[in-house]
Structure 1
Amino acid sequence: MNRKILLSDLASKDYKETWDYQSQLLQKIVDVKIQNRRNDLQETTKNHFLFVEHPHVYTLGKSGDLSNLLLNENQLKEKNATFYKINRGGDITYHGPGQIVGYPILDLENFFTDIHKYLRLLEEMIILTIAEYGLKGIRSAGETGVWLDVGTPFARKICAMGIRSSRWVTMHGFALNANVNLGYFDHIIPCGIRGKAVTSMEVELGKKVDTEEVKQKILKHFKTLFEVEEFIVS
């Protein structure tokens, strides 16, 4: 099993370009797995972890409800935002500047073959990361992601998650609200969940956070939780 991960920070990159790139990486891994099975080979499959920040964009998961987007086409243009219906799980979410987006593209057969466990470990990675800033992140039953103050009238989401997998290869991932403009969430029903707010590390802490520092903490916890051998910067 290959537990080395190729790490790339794409900085600011268009959503559709990044989605296409993820799809290419996933397909290359899937192709190796198909050839291995067809020809009784044991070629090692690669794993990737992409960090990226997107320009303003709303994305709707394959089972999502378009009515959860509260803007029409002209209003999207006014907000300098784009919209895509995509192939991950989950409903609608927003990505934009100041948000830390991570896309692990892993062959889970190098780690474990359990999608539920995969999502729970991604949540744990974020819970451990924000705990280093004094924030108590928790799970909300039946709602993937990381929340604050669940079970109170002040429940609010700080990290959204949605993935897709094919032949145990993952794509898409998580979006942690670090210094993001939360006003853009006012134009959707986030994740299709009414009556719950969205927050950011900046709002909770009363100051901007160093996103590069947060990324390093994310990688530290990801490495431990997934028993990664090493990250290789690519």
Structure 2
Amino acid sequence: MIILYQYSIILIFSFALLVFVLLFFVSAPYGKFSRKGWGPDIKSKWAWMIMEFPSPFLMTIFFLTSDLKSLPQYIFILAWLAHYVSRTFIYPFSQSGREKPYPVIVALMAVVFNLLNGLANGYGVFSLYSYNLSWLYSWQFISGFIIFITGFAINKTADEKLRKLRENTPGEYVIPRGWLFDFISSPHYFGEIIEWAGWAIMTWSLPGLAFALFTFANLFPRAIASHRWYKSHFPGYPPDRKAIIPFIL
């Protein structure tokens, strides 16, 4: 297992670099960037559920089979599942675009990543690293947990506001307004980047760092592309609104 873990870490870091570069040239073909030419597709709701499922499944398996269960690790699994149970079983069936086509090849690439990520974080956090009760009083856990919860709240709030907006304007895109949308175009991406940065600090682990870097590498270029899309499609788009970092970028 240690060999699989090590290769998973290497691949996640490698994929982060590759994805970060590629996404500045080729937008992932789903959502507002959906387009033909990517082979067969399935409905978005099934794609999301299938590609996200390995993360909660593997983390749960590694947690249940671990001999190192401590209170910090109970908190880790609850934090992970808080995100991924929603992302796997609720979000796919509540989003407005759940019936839209989603390229199978993109879903399969996400499955591969989530298998690697679930293995790396599951084995690392629950079998390789050790966290005793005193870890709850460490600066890493306290600051990381606060950052994780903050990012989680931002991500879920943004998702819910976008869901309601799309329910009120089915079949068309409009300019999101209010809350963090007055400052950045993609609060949901901003929140998720913060969330997994918090996970990396809270667990103080190499797989946590790998996941946080991949999240940034994946979502930062997409946020930039989304911001440009809004500006090109809406001449009246707020000129002071940034892409993903309030007041900065």
- Bigger share in helix: 2
Higher Rg: 2
The TM-score normalised by the length of structure 2 is 0.30
TM-score of the two chains, using structure 1 as the length reference = 0.31
Greater strand fraction, Structure 1 or Structure 2 = 1
